[in-house]
Amino acid sequence: MRIILSTTPGERPMRPEFGCRLQEFVFDGVDGYTIGRLRDEVLVAMERWEPRIDVLDVGFDLSRMDEGRLVLDIAYVLRATNDVRNLVYPFYLIPAEETA
């Protein structure tokens, strides 16, 4: 899952579509619309590239946004064992510059 999330589509020559488009959001401001788009990107990537799981929820910890850190909390279930797990994935953004 971490490999999928950390790979940008086009990065692997033999599999140009592999990965998740999270890096497209590095310079975006964080609001409800952006959070929704991030959630959709994670769901689409996991559904396509990780057939061994079903994603239950994608949550976000916004408490460190001032540091440029957004934490994704992905709850999923392993299809083979029906075991529920979660992955905490830090995503780093470029913090907005303050104007004087």
User: Distance between CA atoms of 91 and 99, rounded to whole angstroms?
Assistant: 24
Chain length of the chain: 100
Q: What is the spatial distance between Cα 92 and Cα 13, in angstroms, rounded to a whole number?
A: 25
| For the chain, domain boundaries | 2-92
Rounded Cα distance between 3 and 6, Å, is 5
Digit-by-digit pLDDT tens for the chain (100 residues) are 999 999 999 999 999 999 999 999 888 878 888 899 999 999 999 999 999 999 999 999 988 887 778 899 999 999 999 999 999 999 887 765 544 4
Note whether 26 and 92 are within 8 A (CB): yes
Decide which of 3.90.1150.10, 3.10.450.40, 3.40.1530.20, 3.30.70.1290 is the CATH code for 2-92.
3.10.450.40
